[in-house]
Amino acid sequence: MTHFKQVITVFVPVSDQQAALDFYVKTLGFEQRADFAYADGERWVEVAPPGAVTQVTLARAREGRPAGVETGIVLTSHDVEAAHAALSAAGVDVDDAILREGDEPITWAGAVQAGIPPMFRFRDPDGNSFLVT
């Protein structure tokens, strides 16, 4: 029997934690949940969509943990069309079109994505990609 309750954080490697923090908070609208120094001056930065339980830790990229990855993180939106338009208008690197059922499937983070539900990818300034459904 497991004693686990939830997933609390996922790591996203970034080249500049301050620039990443600014992007996730100011552009994506995430909340800053933590920002402190630990372990010989390492910086721990956490952000999350408002009200979310699982947080994203913006971890400093390093050898063995490079930035620019397919994160495997899926974000949900109540209006995927509006989310796509808003991110595009904000200058975020988003897919040109929303993937929908019947479109040519794509492979992302090792899994086939077929547009069910409608979805698109966006990338942070380091090229880390996320899927929005």
Tokens of 68: 């620019």
Domains contained in the chain, CATH given: 9-132 (3.10.180.10)
3-state secondary structure of 54: coil
**pLDDT value of position 39:** 84
Over the stretch 81-126, which tens digit does the pLDDT of each residue have?
999 999 999 999 999 999 999 999 999 999 999 999 999 999 999 9
Tens of pLDDT, residue by residue over 19-45, are: 999 999 999 999 999 999 998 889 999
Task: List, in sequence order, every residue forming a beta bridge with 48; answer none if it has no partner.
Answer: 31
Residue 40 is predicted with a pLDDT of 85
Record the pTM: 0.94
Q: Which residues have CB under 8 Å from 76's CB, separation 6+?
A: 132, 133
3-state secondary structure of 78: coil
pLDDT above 80 (res 1): no
Measured CA to CA, the distance from residue 68 to residue 65 in angstroms comes to: 10
* Token couple for 78: 């109540």
Place of tokens 């300034």: 125
